[in-house]
Amino acid sequence: MYVRTSVEDGQSRENNCDLRRIYPWQDVVVPPWNSSLVSIRPHESSKEHSHATDETFIFTGGSGTVHVGAEERAIDTGDVVYIPHGIDHVVTNTDDSEPLTFLSIYWLQSAADASDRTS
């Protein structure tokens, strides 16, 4: 068994989010995807950005909105959002006091999978 604590990992501030990187786990395992625990402070938003990777958010606490491309949706604890690569997105915490938290899982899409989606 391998264990990392939040104290050992600490957090960084990226794209206006508090972030704890989970995978890849150096010297332990490098899965075909990466993941981070993300927290957005009350009444704050992530910076608008896009990635070369596809991404899934699994919301674990709080409430807010997700803006992906031209679409905006309200989100709540338990919601799951998929974001294809190359599309701008912003997550906003609409709560007065609680952080908006989610697990971000992201991976490079194979060329074959990407072309299947556009066919």
Domain ranges for the chain, please list them. 6-111
Kindly state the DSSP code that residue 15 receives in the 8-state scheme. T
Q: How many CB atoms lie under 10 A from the CB of residue 15?
A: 14
- Phi and psi angles of residue 28, each rounded to the nearest 5 degrees, phi first: -125, -60
pLDDT along the chain (119 residues), means of 10: 91 94 91 94 96 96 97 98 96 97 90 52
Looking at CATH, the fold of the domain delimited by 6-111 is given as Jelly Rolls (2.60.120)
Contact partners, residue 94, CB within 8 Å, separation at least 6: 43, 63, 64, 65, 100
Prediction pTM value: 0.88
- So what's the pLDDT on residue 60? 98
- So what's the pLDDT on residue 44? 98
- So what's the pLDDT on residue 114? 52
